[in-house]
Structure 1
Amino acid sequence: MSAYEPLSPEHRAALAELIGDAARPATADFLLRLGHTVKDCRTHDHGTGEGIFCGNLVGWMGERMALVVRRLLDAEAELEKYVGKEPTRDEEAQHVNRCLDAVYHLCEEVKRAAGRWENPLPVPEWVAAVEQAADGNRPDNPDDKRRRIYLDGKGNAWISHCTDPADGELIARLDSNPFHDGEPVQEVREHTGGLREIGRCW
């Protein structure tokens, strides 16, 4: 099977002009009916006759093919909005860091606001919990056997691999060889400039 090749804007414009403005997109029900009709043509015993049965079916499909082309054009136009516009790994990492910076900034503002009075107010308990979550530090639950997923300071994703008696938790790059032995968490944090837990999985 050949690789998918999207229609160019010129091709889409030409097809739209050919089928006219009146054509509406084919519905899912219509496409199913079309599929059944194709099957009827494919499995019909043609024998030695002139194929009137299939000729009628082909004519019926041909009269309605503009609906299929319109659906195709709409799908191609929608796909064009996203293909080639996905954020890069660095852009995603920068977005995550901006979100975390905003969280830290809010926590600092709350702490400053609590201490600005002559008799300082206690800092809300949620501040410490939010800061801990933003740091990627979660209370360990011995019953939670899921593997931790990390994002390092360079935007690379890591996952728990195993536990070493001497080095503790070992993690491996998600895009690395599955037989990689992993690296100690602290070493990864040091040579990448940071490490945050962003989730867990089995």
Structure 2
Amino acid sequence: MSDSVKDLFSEVELFLPSYLTPNEKEELYSGLKDFPENVTYYLQRGRQDEALQGDVWSSLPIINFDTYDVKNCQGVIISNSCDISPENERFLPTFNVIFAPLIRVSKLRRLLESSNISEERVSSTIENIRKQYNTSTFFLPAMGEVIEEDSVALFSDMRYVPMSKFREQGVKNITLHMQGFYLFLMKLSMHFCRFNEGVHRF
């Protein structure tokens, strides 16, 4: 486990959301204490008419900038829930929805194997991704027909879709459970907010 992940989870109780009831806090804390073995990733019942940060959606268009071909993919919503809510009136409108495409772990393994990396290193990298130890990825286990195979979102591979196109063709697949969502937020924060980067900017 990387030190940043280890340190954060050793003090996870300090960062629990203040809006939760005591029982909800206890449930969330208990689940996160068991990380990475017993994390509840998905909410079994969620509103299909709302888009939330951390949702998995399909039919999201991505562009290949070498060929300018467009294809649709499944991805995790990175945008803030409030920013993409149509009920939230804003002086400055939200023009795009930011998301990270999902890559099947089996495909990622093949890509790593084709890069002249030792089998031992490939296996350890995949294992670290599955256990959420890698801070630049977010692992999502398979979920029936909704997420057909174990998959991963790469935080270094962000895409966007215009809000109008997102509303027109995007299909919501599943919402993260509070445990999965909080894990998602912590990893997103660790990837993009490096307070301990060690670079002197004075």
Between Structure 1 and Structure 2, the one with more helix by share is 1
TM-score normalised by L of structure 2? 0.20
Q: Which is higher, the Rg of structure 1 or of structure 2?
A: 1
Higher strand share: 2
| Greater relative contact order (Cα < 8 A, sep 6+) | 2
Calculate the TM-score normalised by the size of structure 1: 0.20
